[in-house]
Amino acid sequence: MSALLAIRDSLMGERGLQRWAFYIPVVFMALFFAAPVALTLVWSVFERTMFWMEPGFTLAAYENFFTSARAENYVYSMIHSAVAVVVSFVIGFPIAVFVRRRVVKAAQHRVILLFILPFMISELVRVFAMRPVLGRNGLLNTGLMELGIISEPITIILFSPIGVVIGDVISFLPFMVFAGFLAMEAVQTYIFEVCDDIGVGRARTFRDIIVPLAAPGIFAGGVFIFVNSLGVALVPTILGGPGAVNAGLIVNQAIVALDFPLAMAISAIMLLTLVVLLYVGHRLFDLTKILQPIS
């Protein structure tokens, strides 16, 4: 009886509650973060059966991946994703800098929140809406033809890798704007005054000062876009075409074919890609050092 009471006290007492408050995140991470990762790795080496899989150890799924066109498609998908990251940086980061530098302080956060609005629209609809814009007789082509800039409709921008990159950029650009905006917090106003004093031009300030200082944030935004471009199957499903798939779509196709170990193996490879990416980023930008407080 007293033992039970002691347990109850330790669980419900003030210290017990504090302990629970500490463990809840741990439990949450274990359940929803570590477990799926572990299962992915384990299942990827299971034996394939007709409708599911059975315990065992085989690298057949990996072999299947590396000896088929999937590996090649995966590499292309990485390249397309990298292009999407670069395009997002070129468009999105200047927007972030602009908002930080030119919009009145009090309004900055509101302006940035505007970029959330597209997320309110179902992603399916958002990506699908690109079709009538980019299509053969779409808004873009008819517009350009009316203006006499082109005589033939451009067909390479839909159902092609370019279409996928455009879709990725439009879908995930806000990540770069947010991350860039937050990263600009590391670039204090005095920096710009010092640059004015020295006579550093705009382009030079951007290249030598702003980008290096905001690098951790830019990198974080870039990783987000890269991972989504690589993994969200929806974009190539709707805007892609022959040869314009991404890793997520390859996984989807494997699941549709009921080849679960293959789906898991590809996921594991995506995971490894991300880990390598993060490691390289960490070494490159020396995140810990750059994030040290300035004063």
- Which residues lie near other proteins (CB under 8 A)? 186, 188, 190-191, 193-194, 196-200, 204, 208-209, 212-213, 289-290, 292-295
- Closest to other proteins by CB, 138 or 212: 212
- To other proteins, the closest distance from the beta carbon of 200 in angstroms equals 5
- Closest to other proteins by CB, 216 or 231: 216
- Closest to other proteins by CB, 146 or 197: 197
**DSSP-derived 3-state class of residue 103:** coil
Beta bridge partners of 47: 54
- To other proteins, the closest distance from the beta carbon of 290 in angstroms equals 6
- Closest to other proteins by CB, 71 or 287: 287
Residues 59 and 47: their CA atoms lie apart, in Å, by 9
Strands (E), 74-215: none
| Pairs from 147-156 (Cβ < 8 Å, separation ≥ 24) | none
Query: If we measure between CA atoms, which residue out of 89, 120, 122, 81 comes closest to residue 228?
Result: 81
- Closest to other proteins by CB, 87 or 209: 209
Structure tokens given for 271:
């995971």
Residues 46 and 294: their CA atoms lie apart, in Å, by 51
Residue 240 · residue 164 · CB < 8 Å: yes
- To other proteins, the closest distance from the beta carbon of 83 in angstroms equals 27
* Angle formed at CA 120 by CA 105 and CA 221, multiple of 5 degrees: 60
- To other proteins, the closest distance from the beta carbon of 188 in angstroms equals 8
- To other proteins, the closest distance from the beta carbon of 189 in angstroms equals 9
- Closest to other proteins by CB, 148 or 199: 199
Residues 293 and 291: their CA atoms lie apart, in Å, by 6
- To other proteins, the closest distance from the beta carbon of 41 in angstroms equals 38
Residues 252 and 231: their CA atoms lie apart, in Å, by 10
